[in-house]
Structure 1
Amino acid sequence: MLSDPAAFLIAATFWTILTLVVAGGVVFSVLAVKGDRWLIIAAAAFLLVAAIMVGLPHPAGPALLGAIVALGAIAISAFGGSPAVKTVLSLATRQVEGEAGGVLVSTPDSEQRREVLRGGLTIGVLERLATTASILAGVPEAIAVVIAIKGVGRFSELGASDAQERFIIGTFVSLGWAAVCGVVAHLAW
């Protein structure tokens, strides 16, 4: 590859741009944790550009650059997933979050509200990391295990339709986000 200067220049340009795009996605994902909807949209745009870039035929690059891009995609998965879920949930539902980040639902016997689906932030990060890692490892079947564990763990809290709706929307967005990040990581490495 070094003997052909044009090929080297093309490969170096491709991998530089891809690395900068993924780095931008990481920065916007981390900043989006503060709650600005436009930052997560920017992170999603960077992630989409990275997915398109690695999906097209591209020149081989050094393994180190592939690993850097893969690690960046994993970081985007972990940090960007929660703001993405919150953004989609705020657009899809008008529910008020509880103190622990769960959804407030009315109890059947009274006007009191109780919080369900607490701990979603931590569960979501673990879910996205497991999903992204399973795709990166070339074992996407493991995502079924992630979904099963999450469903079984949350089953008792899904009695209220508000909680069911939030659970389904949040899970689809989280898994979709992690899947795109996993594909970027897998194809780059």
Structure 2
Amino acid sequence: MTPHVPYPPLFVFAMIGPIVYWAIVLILVLASVCSIAFTLRRPRRVFVYVAAGTLAAAVAMAAFPSPQAPTIVGALLGIACLVLAVAGGGPAVQLVLALASRGSVAGEHGGIVVPGSDSASSPGAPHEVLRGGTTIGLLERLATAGAIMAGFPSAIAVLVAIKGVGRFSELDAAEARERFIIGTLVSLIWACACAAVFHLAIR
């Protein structure tokens, strides 16, 4: 007589499989968060590379066709992704800006120092532009990730428009325009990638 099997193997796999799968995604996101935490304490490029690599792996796994993440795992994943979006974008932006604009002079308030211009022929005194970029970046990534996770990605267009209007008067110098465009794009891409992991998990 064949013994009764209360839970067939396929049924058990169907129940446990999604939990294990999304737990791995959560571990990847947490690994990225830890790497960012290390680089905040002791800035090193290798930690940013590791954070970006683990985030890319998490996005790839989340994009792969799979069952929806369990509620608990999805909630933890949402918190981790939001933290990573806000905290991780800063080091990523700083790294890319350091690679792209090596000749810029850093200001005392988070911006860059550019030569002034009193007229077309006589340069004025140097002054700092794009001040408060770190704080603005944190709020920008929080709003971007929050909009995507809440299901309102169109809010990003409003966010970019507000930022552009607010910075318009500081974009006379080519260095300022370059830094503004690169910093904004990197910040938005990072926040969107983090939010995409959560969005794909609950799709």
Match of 1:96 among 66, 80, 105: 105
Higher-Rg member (1/2): 2
Q: Following TM superposition, by how much is the alpha carbon of 1:37 offset from its aligned partner in structure 2, in angstroms?
A: 1.3
Check the 8 A contact 2:137/2:187 in 1, yes or no.
yes
Map 1:159-174 to 2 at 5 A.
159-174=172-187
1:48 corresponding residue in structure 2: 56
Deviations 1:82-111, CA, capped at 9 Å, x for gaps: 110110011111112111110110112457
2:26 alignment partner AA:
T
Match of 2:20 among 4, 8, 13: 13
How far apart are the structure 1 equivalents of 2:39 and 2:153? 27
The runs of 5 or more residues in structure 1 that have no matched partner are none
Alignment size in residue pairs: 188
Q: CA RMSD in A?
A: 1.6
TM-score normalised by structure 1 residue count: 0.93
How far apart are the structure 1 equivalents of 2:64 and 2:91? 28
The runs of 5 or more residues in structure 2 that have no matched partner are 1-5
Map 1:1-189 to 2 at 5 A.
3=7, 4-34=11-41, 35-94=43-102, 95-108=104-117, 109-110=122-123, 112-189=125-202
Deviations 1:17-69, CA, capped at 9 Å, x for gaps: 11211111111122223421111111111111110111011233321111111
TM-score normalised by structure 2 residue count: 0.87
Q: Structure 1 segments of 4 or more deviating over 6 A? A: none
